[in-house]
Amino acid sequence: MKFHNLVLCAFLLLVAPLFGRDKTDVVVMKNGDRLTGEIKGLNSGVLYLNMDYILGTSSVQWSKVHHVESTQLFIVKTASGSVYTGTLSTSDVQRFNGDINLGAIYSKGNQSTQFNLDSLVQYPRERWSAQGEYSSTLASSTGASPSTRNQVNLQSQRLLRWDNWFYQGIGIFLQSSEQDINLQGTLGGGIGRYFKNTNNAQISLLGGLAWQDTAYQATAEPIPNQNLAAALVAGQMRFFRFNKTSFDLGAIVLPALNQPGRVHVNMNTSYYIKVFSNLTWNISFYGNWDNRPPANFSGSDYGTSTGLGWTFGNR
């Protein structure tokens, strides 16, 4: 089949390949070149193609593709939010996308060391998706107690019948020695919309409700768990350039309903540069703020990290 000019409207193309099927898909470039192989997927303006005569997966700039020819069935989500599905079975393992990043910083002056670990796994399907993310930071220096921060983000999303609208559930679990938080759990959900969904950018906004429970470290005067019912406002922006760089920014704002005036903010942002193949270099910023923490407790924890990463799937 042929999809003429699909390049102008497609955001995400998930091909449902049979395990070990023949590499007979044809990608016709705008300059007339023809590439024959097995289409693995399309993500962030990059078409992934396996060819018998090239080792590994090749990356093709989607904006340079004229059309695709294939006897296989596809799952296509357009920029307008419409989804077209086929009935071809696939191996679930091939659907996973993600990355893992490691970094370390050492300073001889004050004998300070920082280690960081970040990982992300995504599982996209035709009309829904799920992802999990884990980040960990350990910092120590002479004369000071080690500082630790661990965060787990869980997210599940399903597209609605209206173009570019979706509903989403989130779970955030945070430990921060800087804020004396043993465990802070946030569960919420709401309705969202993609305002931009193209080969170069993705921008979405979510509104809903959330519940947050925070257990603080023991002190001379025990502090009971802090429970908040809150409005939920979450924004996500992602900008990418063909197989070279990407910039991700995610923020969640929780204005408390049962404690008017109290606001929690959680933010994560990362900038990636591809080094070669699946190897990337990245720099990240994280932050967590509470404008009304318990007395004598810190209301913020933020920092930066940098390191090397490895991507897999169509990440």
CB within 8 Å of 218: residues ≥ 6 apart: none
CB within 8 Å of 33: residues ≥ 6 apart: none
Q: What is the pLDDT of residues 71-130, one digit of tens each?
A: 776 666 655 555 655 433 334 445 688 999 999 888 777 778 989 999 999 998 878 899
Query: What pTM, to 2 d.p., does this model score?
Result: 0.74
Using the 8-state DSSP alphabet, how is residue 93 labeled? G
- Cα–Cα distance measured from residue 226 to residue 174, given in angstroms and rounded to the nearest whole number: 14
Range of the domain at 214: 97-312
Domain boundary among 93, 117, 139: 93
Do 195 and 291 belong to one domain?
A: yes
Do 151 and 49 belong to one domain?
A: no
Cα–Cα distance list, 263 to 88, 250, 266, 276, 290 (Å): 47, 17, 10, 42, 6
Other CB atoms closer than 10 Å to residue 18's CB: what's the count? 12
Question: What pLDDT is recorded for position 62?
Answer: 76
Instruction: Indicate the pLDDT class of residue 241, thresholds 50, 70 and 90.
Output: confident
- Cα–Cα distance measured from residue 208 to residue 191, given in angstroms and rounded to the nearest whole number: 6
Query: How many domains does the chain fold into?
Result: 2
Domain boundary among 43, 78, 93: 93
Cα–Cα distance list, 80 to 6, 11, 124, 143, 198 (Å): 12, 9, 18, 56, 9
For residues 34-50, average pLDDT: 78
Question: What pLDDT is recorded for position 82?
Answer: 59
Do 218 and 107 belong to one domain?
A: yes
Do 139 and 27 belong to one domain?
A: no
Do 122 and 222 belong to one domain?
A: yes
Identify whether 1 is part of a domain.
Answer: no
Domain boundary among 93, 126, 154: 93
Using the 8-state DSSP alphabet, how is residue 256 labeled? B
Instruction: Indicate the pLDDT class of residue 19, thresholds 50, 70 and 90.
Output: very low
Q: What is the pLDDT of residues 154-208, one digit of tens each?
A: 999 999 988 889 999 999 999 999 999 999 999 999 999 999 988 788 999 999 9
Above 50 in pLDDT, residue 301? Answer: yes
